[in-house]
Amino acid sequence: MKVLGIETSCDETAAAVVEDGRTILSNVVASQVDLHARYGGVVPEVASRKHLESILPVIDTALNEAGCRLSDIGAVATTMGPGLSGALLVGVNVAKAIVFAYRLPLVAVSHLEAHIYANWLRTEGTDAYEPQFPLLALVVSGGHTELVLMKGHGLYRELGRTRDDAAGEAFDKVARLLGLGFPGGPAIEKAAAGARPAVRLPRAWLPGTHDFSFSGLKTAVLRLSKEREGRALPVGEVAAAFQEAVVDVLVTKTVRAAREERAREIILAGGVAANKALRNALTDASPVPVRMPPLFLCTDNAAMVAAGGYYRLQRGETAGLDLDVMAGLGLTPSSTPLPAP
């Protein structure tokens, strides 16, 4: 079955056609990053207006590239949250219009769940891959840092999350501090490449929990960059120290949780999963196989929404035309929560 995925939760207008939840027939992403870069971050009102302009051409392109029409589509999956309400409303309402006109099932997907399902999409070299449950998912994006135990499709238990800044948010804020531009993740990664960490920055371990905290690290970078004004400390060395600290905490805590929960696999997801230092360190430290999407499926896209939507549809979890957006949605509003051990 072909699922049309739609994603407008932040600053990417995206549509994709995915066959049987795994095979990408098309994956179109119109990024607004240049539009927001001059403000140093995403401006919600600007994002909504741009989504309105882009969404229909993006869907048309996705259908054309997949070689199909709306009449060939079996269901529409759309991100209902978390994200910017005005931005989410664009995708959700276009999805409603399509399912109403073509009498199709509508599936609502959490953006976090969609990031996890990017790992089910077939790409070169991963054709035969079927994730093994129970698995531990580390979701690291601009808005979230979550450790999630997944015991089956749609069966999640949240083990830990950030208590303040998300990992991606920390990258973005520190990049701004260092004058490296927006989005910060790729800018920090580039600046840090080949540089020796200037100092060892503090790590917040939050013992006895699987939670994270990155705001102290941001303050430490601020202090370090002030000191820098006096001594010529290259930006790259500060960026490298910051990246090293974030990766160390993410990897150490993920591996510890995987051991404790006897996870059979670790999967990495979300925009920060594009970071090569994180990808390499997690692969090296993990006692179990580590799966991660290729870079283009780590950052926001609609193929992952179609994939997550397909598995929801398999379980009969469809939405009605009264579907609303939820800016603060968690992993899923409707799947069965697992009882605590």
**Binding region for Zn ion (CB under 5 A):** 141, 300
Kindly tell me which of 155 and 295 has the beta carbon lying closer to ligand KG4: 295
Kindly tell me which of 86 and 186 has the beta carbon lying closer to ligand KG4: 186
33/182 Cα distance (integer angstroms): 8
Kindly tell me which of 189 and 261 has the beta carbon lying closer to ligand KG4: 189
Kindly tell me which of 141 and 225 has the beta carbon lying closer to Zn ion: 141
Kindly tell me which of 189 and 248 has the beta carbon lying closer to ligand KG4: 189
- Alpha-carbon distance values, 280 to 147, 196, 268 (Å): 18, 17, 11
CB of 79 to Zn ion, least distance (A): 9
Residue 324: which of 16, 96, 7 has the closest Cα? 96
263/245 Cα distance (integer angstroms): 24
Kindly tell me which of 2 and 144 has the beta carbon lying closer to ligand KG4: 144
Crossing angle between the packed helical segments 184-192 and 276-285, to the nearest 10 degrees: 70
30/34 Cα distance (integer angstroms): 11
Crossing angle between the packed helical segments 215-230 and 235-260, to the nearest 10 degrees: 160
Question: Which of Zn ion, ligand KG4, none interacts with 63 (beta carbon under 5 to 8 A by kind)?
Answer: none
- Residue count of the chain: 341
CB of 182 to ligand KG4, least distance (A): 8
CB of 270 to Zn ion, least distance (A): 6
CB of 59 to Zn ion, least distance (A): 19
7/300 Cα distance (integer angstroms): 8
Work out whether strand 106-110 and strand 23-31 pair parallel, antiparallel, or are unpaired: unpaired
Chain-centre distance of CA 331, in angstroms? 12
Question: Which of ligand KG4, Zn ion, none interacts with 330 (beta carbon under 5 to 8 A by kind)?
Answer: none
Using CB under 6 A, list all residues that contact ligand KG4: 10, 141-143, 168, 171-172, 183-186, 189, 270-272, 274-275, 299-300
Question: Which of ligand KG4, Zn ion, none interacts with 186 (beta carbon under 5 to 8 A by kind)?
Answer: ligand KG4
Q: Are 336 and 155 in contact (CB under 8 A)?
A: yes
181/37 Cα distance (integer angstroms): 7
CB of 169 to Zn ion, least distance (A): 12
Kindly tell me which of 8 and 54 has the beta carbon lying closer to Zn ion: 8
Cis peptide before 183 (omega within 30 of 0): yes
CB of 319 to ligand KG4, least distance (A): 21
Question: Which of ligand KG4, Zn ion, none interacts with 82 (beta carbon under 5 to 8 A by kind)?
Answer: none
Question: Which of Zn ion, ligand KG4, none interacts with 143 (beta carbon under 5 to 8 A by kind)?
Answer: ligand KG4
Tokens standing for residue 223: 């202090």
Question: Which of Zn ion, ligand KG4, none interacts with 265 (beta carbon under 5 to 8 A by kind)?
Answer: none
Question: Which of ligand KG4, Zn ion, none interacts with 272 (beta carbon under 5 to 8 A by kind)?
Answer: ligand KG4
166/164 Cα distance (integer angstroms): 7
331/158 Cα distance (integer angstroms): 9
CB of 82 to ligand KG4, least distance (A): 8
